[in-house]
Amino acid sequence: MLSQRCYDLGTARSVIRELFEHGKLRAAEVGADNVFDFSIGNPSVPPPPAVEETLERLLATVDPLTLHGYTSAQGDFAVREQLAASLSRRFGHRYDASQLYLTVGAAAALCCVFHALTLPGDEYILFAPYFPEYKVFLEGAGAKVNILPPKYPDFQIDLAALDAALTPHTKGVLINSPNNPSGAVYTADTLAALGQLLARRSQEYGHPIYLISDEPYREIVFGGVSSPWAPDFYPDTIVCYSYSKSLSLPGERIGYVLVGRSVADGERVYAAVAGAGRTLGYVNAPSLFQRVAAECDGLCADTSVYAQNRELLTAELGKLGYDTSHPPQGTFYYFLPTLESDDVAFCEKAKALDLLLVPGSGFGAAGYARLSFCVPTERILRAIPVFAALSKQYGR
């Protein structure tokens, strides 16, 4: 006998992975240039030059036994000090090493937090559309998940729905801004109202409701939008961050959990996060990239190609009858209303044209398709006639 849950997770691919694999097979059959794969969110721009420079310097100057050795489970102390100083400078708080826990990307950060906080019967609220792995991570930690419907068309938070959904069993609320897949960035007003509501309910229930802020796309924003710092609006905020997208380092697996001083029972929460890391067998985050992250925190890859792709899609798809009235404010995903209400049928029609889009229902938002535009611009240019052929099927 083995774990049915793990078996099922290990044998069923996510819709995104399924499409991505399909794209590779089709590329072998019809040629890569004839497949328009917008399925996966793998950054398409190189890391900023500072990453390579830092790597070269570290390799040349740091004793290899140190550089490639185990670090403290929480992350190397000097790395955490340097990172805390950087975050303090950037966000105007006083963070220190004892509040930072380095992780194997945002995925591990989230898993450690969920395992650290969750008791049997605890529930977490998340907002559709959402990153589908959240459910896997939360259920893996034994939590119940309550997914609230999307707030169309701006994908901010429906506070009335949240108010109605909170219960004394709510352990946490999970937010992701800039959002995968909607591209929405929560405004300061949204976060302020959210903070007030959670503070009121925490007081009413006599225990904190933690706000877990998953922010791997923090720096990838467009058109002068900026992403407010969630802890400014609610003291019991735990930040989960990743350098996968900002520094284009998804394969290096580096990120952190930040449990600031203002978090209720913060020192114990931090210790439990470290304990969760132990339980899950992470040992420590990759040693070399801990150092790179600390040196390069706050930098971002040159995302001008993402901005250019976003503009191009907005202009060209708009001309073809697609609704581009809500372009993404951040991330590298376009969340496009589909031309029929059945988003799965729409994406199947697209797939028949070798145009690979992910149905919104996989993210809890039917009637939309996600298009990852972290691709070379020329792929978008070549795909425009295919989008035209698709919209023609709908009489546009």
Torsion angle, CA of 233/234/240/242, rounded to 10 degrees?
10
- Residues contacting residue 286 through CB under 8 Å, at least 6 positions apart: 104, 252, 253, 254
Helix/strand/coil for 285: coil
- Supply the minimum distance, in Å, between the C-beta of residue 112 and ligand PLP: 12
- 4 burial level (CB within 10 Å; 0-12, 13-18, 19+): exposed
Nearer to ligand PLP, 245 or 291 (CB): 245
Is 98 exposed, middle or buried (CB count within 10 Å of its CB: 0-12, 13-18, 19+)?
middle
Please check whether residue 145 is in contact with residue 135, taking contact to mean a CB–CB distance below 8 angstroms. yes
Stretch that binds ligand PLP, among 191-199, 242-250, 278-286, 347-355 (CB under 6 A): 242-250
> Which residues 179-208 are close enough to bind ligand PLP by CB under 6 A?
180
Taking CB under 6 A as the criterion, the residue among 39, 242, 248, 290 binding ligand PLP is 242
Collapsed DSSP state (helix, strand, coil) of residue 192: helix
| Secondary structure class of 33 (helix, strand, coil) | helix
Pattern of binders to ligand PLP over 102-121, x per CB under 6 A? ---xxx--------------
97 or 285, CB closer to ligand PLP? 285
Q: Which is nearer to ligand PLP, 76 or 215 (CB)?
A: 215
CA distance 41 to 370: 10
Q: Does residue 286 have a cis bond before it (omega within 30 degrees)?
A: no
- List 16, 19, 35, 41, residue binding ligand PLP (CB under 6 A): 41
Does position 256 interact with ligand PLP (CB under 6 A)? The reply is no
Cα 343 vs. chain centroid, distance in angstroms? 22
- Asked if 287 interacts with ligand PLP (CB under 6 A), we say no
Smallest distance, Å, CB 200 to ligand PLP? 27
Of 101-109, 116-124, 305-313, 321-329, the segment contacting ligand PLP by CB under 6 A is 101-109
3-state secondary structure of 139: helix
Say which amino acid occupies 303.
T
| x/- letters, 123..162, toward ligand PLP (CB under 6 A) | --------x-------------------------------
39 is a contact residue toward ligand PLP (CB under 6 A): no
Is the Cβ of residue 285 or residue 390 nearer to ligand PLP in the bound state? 285
For residue 49, CA distances in Å to 32, 110, 271, 292, 335 come to: 29, 29, 35, 12, 31
Q: What gap in Å lies between CA 76 and CA 80, rounded to an integer?
A: 6
Of the candidate residues 227, 237, 244, 309, the single one contacting ligand PLP (CB under 6 A): 244
Binding-site size, ligand PLP (CB under 6 A): 13
- Residue 286 backbone phi and psi in degrees, to 5: -50, 125
Closest distance of CB 355 from ligand PLP, Å: 21
> Binding ligand PLP by CB under 6 A: which of 132, 153, 228, 250?
250
- Tell which one of 129, 216, 362, 364 touches ligand PLP (CB under 6 A): 216
Q: Which of 129, 172, 235, 255 binds ligand PLP (CB under 6 A)?
A: 255
Instruction: Give Dmax (Cα) for the chain.
Output: 65
Among 214, 236, 297, 343, binds ligand PLP (CB under 6 A): 214
Cis-peptide into 129, omega within 30 deg = yes
Q: At its nearest, how many Å lie between ligand PLP and the CB of residue 154?
A: 18
- CB closer to ligand PLP out of 41 and 364: 41
Q: Is-contact 235 202, C-beta < 8 A? A: no
Cβ(369)–Cβ(391) under 8 Å? no
Angle at 254 between CA 278 and CA 92, to 5 degrees: 100
Minimum separation from the CB atom of position 1 to ligand PLP (A): 30
In whole angstroms, how close is the CB of 216 to ligand PLP at the nearest point? 5
Quickly count: other Cβ atoms within 10 Å of residue 66's Cβ: 12
Stretch that binds ligand PLP, among 58-66, 99-107, 113-121, 351-359 (CB under 6 A): 99-107
Which residues in this chain contact ligand PLP in the complex, by CB under 6 A?
41, 105-107, 131, 176, 180, 214, 216, 242, 244, 250, 255
